Amino acid sequence: MSKRLQVLVHEDEYTEIQGAAQTCRLTIAEWVRQAMRQALRDSSRLPEPSVARLQAIAEASQHEFPTADIDGMLRDIEAGRLAS
């Protein structure tokens, strides 16, 4: 069964939608339905933060690794290049 959806838009937005629908040779209603379907497909592809990812970040933050300031790291990298 179909349901009616009423959406209020500003006049300038309506004019843009009307133009886009005409360009696609669609009625405004069909253009809006297709645009909403596309938006639903796009939103379902968005990655959601997972518990596993958050747990991996929490575990990684518990480790201690040697670090240096950026200038020291760049000197070490450059020294390694020169030694090769």
50-80 pLDDT per residue, tens: 777 877 888 888 887 777 788 888 888 888 8
Question: Which is more confident, 83 or 13?
Answer: 13
Q: Angle at Cα 34 formed by Cα 48 and Cα 39, nearest 5°? A: 15
**Pick the residue with more confidence: 65 or 6?**
6
Q: pTM of this prediction?
A: 0.53
| Phi, psi for 22 (deg, rounded to 5) | -60, -40
Q: Domain ranges in the chain?
A: 1-84
What is the average pLDDT across 36-53? 77
pLDDT over 90 percentage in the chain: 39
